[in-house]
A = this chain, B = another copy of it.
Amino acid sequence: MHNPQLNKNGELQHLLTIEGLPKAVITRILDTASSFVSIGDREVKKVPLMRGKSVFNLFFENSTRTRTTFEIASKRLSADVINLNIAASSTTKGESLLDTIDNLSAMHADMFVVRHAESGAPYLIAKHLNESGQSHVHVVNAGDGRHAHPTQGLLDMYTIRHYKGDFSNLTVAIVGDVLHSRVARSDIHAMTTLGVPEVRVIGPRTLLPGGLEQMGVRVFTDINEGLTGVDVIIMLRLQNERMSGALLPSAQEFFKSYGLTPERLALAKPDAIVMHPGPMNRGVEIDSAVADGPQAVILPQVTFGIAVRMAVMSILAGT
């Protein structure tokens, strides 16, 4: 099957998932982001790359935080942004998803940033645009169900490259609720493609999906074992709101077994960095002493996230 996120020349047409994305495409995004990182420090934080383009933030699921990052990225590229909370809108009038897309596309949309509770929705939209002669309209997946959150994965890669220079000698541990985490999936695919030699996943059996070993990942249920000697620790948010109670004893219990404390961090390499996609549950998956400590790069991740989103959007808009 043709990869719907690449056009016939192998260029990025949509950003749906990191799975199957060629290394050259990922590297180009990271390199482009690099040129945008410094913009944030300038007096005028704008470039005219998307002037007059219309970006629609289509949020079928509420996420102020993610919507904000895309809104800022769009505005710094000088695009016009329209925020649509679709849950409260035409779908309540019984219009189908694809009719909504065709409508907005007819308004000369240039880009849809799509957040959806159902896995595959951005893929469905991109496929429809491609097949109905609207392939000039681009889709960015801003998180779909448990499936993917590619811009988060890309900003994680940017962060790792920024602090570690290179992927080829690293051991990276992902800790926590992997089962419900689209971030974990996106990160694993990205690291595999970029050549990280050892990716570890650490968590209780009940929060680990099947098939991890087949993805080339080493699985640990003991956090002390798993963290030993790693270069990078990616903590996952405990998705309280997504979980049915049966899988998890309690937040305190989780912290006792899998929370990142200074003691556990000491098992990693001395220059290991600590990442988290936010928002953090302090005292649940991460101790405040670590979150605010010198090895945490959680706020730089946010800064890089804007640059990475600007990179993705400007590359798509130029395709």
Residues of A within 8 A of B (CB): 40-46, 51-54, 62, 64-65, 68-69, 71-72, 75-76, 80, 82, 84-86, 88-90, 93-96, 99-100, 102-108, 240-241, 278-282, 299-300, 302-303, 305-306
Contacts and interface: CB of A to CB of B under 8 A. Distances in A.
18 contacts: A44-B51, A46-B51, A54-B72, A64-B85, A64-B88, A64-B90, A68-B82, A68-B104, A93-B279, A94-B240, A99-B279, A100-B279, A103-B278, A103-B279, A106-B299, A106-B302, A107-B305, A107-B306
A299 B103 CA distance: 6
Given A72-B54, A107-B69, A108-B303, A88 B102 contact: no
Nearest to A241: B93
B41 A52 contact: no
B279 A72 contact: no
B84 A64 contact: yes
A94 to B, nearest CB: 6
Contacts of A299: 102-103, 105-106
Contact of A280 (B65, B75, B95, B279): B95
Contact of A90 (B46, B106, B279): B279
Contact of A68 (B64, B107, B282, B306): B107
